[in-house]
Structure 1
Amino acid sequence: MGSIHLVYASETSPTNLQLLEQLKKQLKTQQTQIDALIKKVEQNENDVKSTDEKIEATVTAIEDNLSMSENSKTSIGGYGELHYNNFDDSKKIDFHRFVIFVGHEFTDSIRLFSEIELEHAFSGDGNPGEVELEQAYIEMDLTDSITMKAGVFLIPVGITNETHEPPTFYGVERNPVEKNIIPATWWEAGAGFNTHFSDGLSADFAIHSGLNVSTNGSDAFLIRRGRQKVANANADSLAYTARIKYTAIPGLEVAASYQIQTDVSQGSLDANADLFSAHIAYSGGSFGIRVLYATWDISGTEAASVGRDSQKGFYVEPSYKINEKFGLFARYNAWDNNAGDTNDTEKKQTNIGLNYWPHANVVFKVDFENQSGAQEGSGFNLGVGYQF
């Protein structure tokens, strides 16, 4: 039995040479696998290195952009407002204004301010809209208390002429007194100075282009129709505006403006015109109030003959802010562009409504309007506005 076993083992066991060949094959296979693994590891290392480089480049770009943004001398802002007006004989929806501000700081004391506005969504022949350059001026600090500006700028008069972004006032539409009497929004070209006498007391003076009113027809001597908007404007007769403003008490603004223009017809007649405006605006806690009065006096028999040698108006607007998001207001407006005649031509308008601010720079508005006096009508207005 033992001899049989020995013979069987010798017949089935591999020789040393065969074992060596098998070992070589295994080592070769393992080496191939090791080489492939090394190659894969090297590829992964390259991929990781490439990814790290991309991440580093992205981070660097973001940091550069943030640095540029923080140190940027150019700023962009703007505002817009959509209105829906529903009255007895008229229902309209209108994207009334879309405005872009661009500013640039050349140095710590020299700055650019500009404003471009699209009114009524679409401009061009036969369309109701307009594209207007309302501001484009250079401002320079001459001293710590005196600033000069030159270019196209808003006239320093009234409450809403210089500050009229939708979240800053109550009501869907801007008040009709400043619109028709002052007339806001009103910009001209020229040069102006602002000085601060003490904390809360300042004064403005400007010399600039003036109005150019029609002297005949239904628009004769209407102040708002006389705006030239610095569009190849007639500058035969310049205008001079001065304002003094007091803001030392928190929440209170008291201001008065006076303007004189030697001829609002720009040479057609000798029609000297004076504008006087005064207002009080107060906001303390929940309660607020705005009161404004404005009047024009135009010399000459031509203006007197159509009752427009005197044009004046006022409004009173109390408001109550329920909380940071909701506010109520009521406004009584009265104005007369024919105050110089003996007829009862005074127009009156009462608005009562609500503002809702879901964000400090976003507002939804609703107000109910009643028109009386030389005009009649009633209805309501809806609006949404923003600023940034």
Structure 2
Amino acid sequence: MKTTRRCLALAALLVAGPTHAASNAQLMARLERLAAELDQVKAELKTVKAQAVATQPGPATATVAARPAVAPSGPVATPAQVAVLAPPPPLPAAAEPAPHTAPLASRSGQTSLFGYGEINYNRPFRDQSQTQFDVRRAIVGIAHQASERTRIVGEFEFEHAVTSADDAGEVAVEQLYVEHRATDNVGLKGGLFLIPLGFLNLNHEPTAYYGVERNFVETAIIPSTWREVGLSAFGVSDAGLRWDVGITSGFDLNKWDGASTEGRDSPLGAIHQEGQMAKGKDPAVYGALSWRGTPGLDVGAGVFTGKAAHGSKVAGSAGNVAPDARVTLWDAHARWTPGKWNLSALYARGTISDTDRINTLYLGQTYVPKSFFGWYTQAAYALWQGGEYALSPFVRYEVFNTAAGFATMPAGLGVDADRDEKVVTAGANLRVGENVVLKADVQRFQLARERDRLNLGIGYQF
């Protein structure tokens, strides 16, 4: 009966819609509500089917909710991505939720499984002895609908196949939070969760982006996958404006290792706390906005800022030489999907203040940069689709610099800024059904020519 009433409500909404002089944004909001409702009806039907199967003789099975599909043309909105507008029982997702955000449960007490993974092959053109296969990552998530308005989500990541003291692998908790819906359009979240900056940090399943490897701007500048411990509030308006604000843990400048090149690869990746006994004397704050008032268009921006010394002394110093050091990172991004095209662009810039005295500790080593930035443009085209297969070639051009500037130091001790690296990536994604993708691309570097390579990959999500 509940499903029937929802179907009737959907029909009524479809009929009533044209009688109102609604703006494009209002129409988009209605369509999103309808998509979320339809997704809910499908989830309930699957639950009924699973219950019917469970009543037959045989071993007991757990009900597992299906993950929402990603459109064959590439990383566009899915039912889960518009679920923030759905009425009870599903909860609103974050302002720009990732496809791997926990599947929507159809009723209280239901537990769902989800996950994704990727296996990659990289073959450098110059030094082919560095060719390698890698089980890059495998992720398993669990979501439990604790009540009509509250759910619990845990996500666990395994990288590089083997983890031990002598191996490169890693096991980490990628997300662990409790989410509660305060109203139909507003939600609250507490725990370890992803920060909503850029596209990739929230949408990083291999089926959700183009290319075998994640782009450099959203890994070297925005340290994806980037998560913090804290509290957030998020929601969406009828005009299609999504918002997300929070107070969280931040970066720890005391983790900087001048003897390592990690900071040159990704300044914020080197001082990211990842929820591991994170110092919290100086919490950080963030805010993000995204507008989808026009079908096919997604425009957004976000900023994250917080002090990074936490009252502790910097390693190797006799005291706190950077009491006012502050990390600030912001981005602006846009995606447009007219017809078969998928066009996107992103710019990100970060700064670390009060670094002059810190760098006197690292003479001749890796200095802490004052500024770093990156941007990219990308175009993909849904070239062909037949049966369960869909082919989308793409090209991406990105520019980034992880050491674009340094604070002034005493004469003779300064260091010059790095040159901008420029990378062209061209390839294609071949979708096999809804949740499997085969990838191939070639990458060319302007400065680090030794990194030119061929990449192949297999990715999945469920």
**3-state SS, counterpart of residue 230 of structure 1:** coil
- Mapping of residues 11-160 of structure 1, within 5 Å: 60-61=55-56, 73-87=110-124, 88-89=126-127, 90-160=130-200
Give the counterpart letter for 2:374 in structure 1. Answer: G
Distance change >3 Å, CA 171–CA 263, structure 1 → 2: same
Percent identity at matched positions? Answer: 33
**3-state SS, counterpart of residue 143 of structure 1:** coil
**3-state SS, counterpart of residue 364 of structure 1:** strand
Give the counterpart letter for 2:343 in structure 1. Answer: I
**Which ranges of structure 1 fall in alignment gaps of 5 or more residues?**
1-57
**3-state SS, counterpart of residue 218 of structure 2:** helix
Could you tell which deviates more after superposition, 325-334 or 376-385? 376-385
Q: Kindly provide the CA deviation profile for residues 52-86 of structure 1, in whole angstroms up to 9, marking residues without a partner as x.
A: xxxxxx98435996896686611101011000000
Question: 1:382 aligns to what?
Answer: 456
- In 2, distance between residues paired with 1:304 and 1:254? 38
- In 2, distance between residues paired with 1:63 and 1:253? 48
Give the counterpart letter for 1:352 in structure 2. Answer: A
| Aligned Cα root-mean-square deviation (Å) | 2.5
Could you tell which deviates more after superposition, 301-310 or 286-295? 301-310
Distance change >3 Å, CA 125–CA 286, structure 1 → 2: same
Give the counterpart letter for 2:400 in structure 1. Answer: W
The counterpart of 1:319, out of the listed 366, 373, 380, is: 380
- In 1, distance between residues paired with 2:358 and 2:372? 11
The counterpart of 1:373, out of the listed 424, 437, 447, is: 447
Q: Check conservation: 2:189, 2:231, Cα contact below 8 A.
A: yes
Question: 1:13 aligns to what?
Answer: none
Return the offset for 1:377. Answer: 3.0
Could you tell which deviates more after superposition, 311-320 or 299-308? 299-308
Give the counterpart letter for 2:423 in structure 1. Answer: Q
- In 1, distance between residues paired with 2:383 and 2:358? 47
Question: Does 2:272 correspond to 1:253?
Answer: no
Give the counterpart letter for 2:280 in structure 1. Answer: A
- Mapping of residues 94-243 of structure 1, within 5 Å: 94-213=134-253, 214-215=255-256, 217=258, 218=260, 219=262, 222-243=267-288
For normalisation by structure 2, the TM-score amounts to 0.67
**3-state SS, counterpart of residue 256 of structure 1:** strand
- In 2, distance between residues paired with 1:302 and 1:350? 37
Give the counterpart letter for 1:362 in structure 2. Answer: V
Return the offset for 1:371. Answer: 1.2
Q: Kindly provide the CA deviation profile for residues 167-187 of structure 1, in whole angstroms up to 9, marking residues without a partner as x.
A: 111100000111010111101
- In 2, distance between residues paired with 1:372 and 1:312? 17
Give the counterpart letter for 2:283 in structure 1. Answer: L
For normalisation by structure 1, the TM-score amounts to 0.80
Could you tell which deviates more after superposition, 292-301 or 230-239? 230-239
Return the offset for 1:344. Answer: 4.1
The counterpart of 1:339, out of the listed 390, 404, 415, is: 404
Question: 2:90 aligns to what?
Answer: none
The counterpart of 1:310, out of the listed 348, 371, 378, is: 371
Question: 2:33 aligns to what?
Answer: none
Give the counterpart letter for 1:284 in structure 2. Answer: P
- In 1, distance between residues paired with 2:421 and 2:54? 63
Return the offset for 1:198. Answer: 2.3
Give the counterpart letter for 1:271 in structure 2. Answer: A
Return the offset for 1:375. Answer: 5.7
Distance change >3 Å, CA 364–CA 200, structure 1 → 2: same
Q: Kindly provide the CA deviation profile for residues 174-226 of structure 1, in whole angstroms up to 9, marking residues without a partner as x.
A: 00111010111101111101022324101100111111134451455821111
Distance change >3 Å, CA 263–CA 251, structure 1 → 2: same
Return the offset for 1:271. Answer: 0.8
Distance change >3 Å, CA 127–CA 68, structure 1 → 2: closer
Give the counterpart letter for 1:349 in structure 2. Answer: V
Question: 1:262 aligns to what?
Answer: 307
**3-state SS, counterpart of residue 403 of structure 2:** coil
Return the offset for 1:330. Answer: 0.5
- In 2, distance between residues paired with 1:266 and 1:119? 33
The counterpart of 2:345, out of the listed 279, 285, 291, is: 291
Q: Check conservation: 2:232, 2:244, Cα contact below 8 A.
A: yes
**Which ranges of structure 2 fall in alignment gaps of 5 or more residues?**
1-52, 65-105, 314-321, 361-366, 407-415
- In 2, distance between residues paired with 1:210 and 1:292? 23
The counterpart of 1:350, out of the listed 401, 410, 424, is: 424
Distance change >3 Å, CA 150–CA 378, structure 1 → 2: same
Larger RCO (CA under 8 A, 6+ residues apart) = 2
Distance change >3 Å, CA 187–CA 295, structure 1 → 2: same
Give the counterpart letter for 1:382 in structure 2. Answer: L
Which structure: larger Rg? 1
- In 1, distance between residues paired with 2:436 and 2:293? 28
Give the counterpart letter for 1:74 in structure 2. Answer: T
**3-state SS, counterpart of residue 373 of structure 1:** coil
Return the offset for 1:238. Answer: 1.4
Please identify which structure carries the higher strand content. Answer: 1
The counterpart of 1:329, out of the listed 382, 391, 394, is: 394
Could you tell which deviates more after superposition, 157-166 or 261-270? 261-270
Distance change >3 Å, CA 127–CA 334, structure 1 → 2: same
Could you tell which deviates more after superposition, 202-211 or 246-255? 246-255
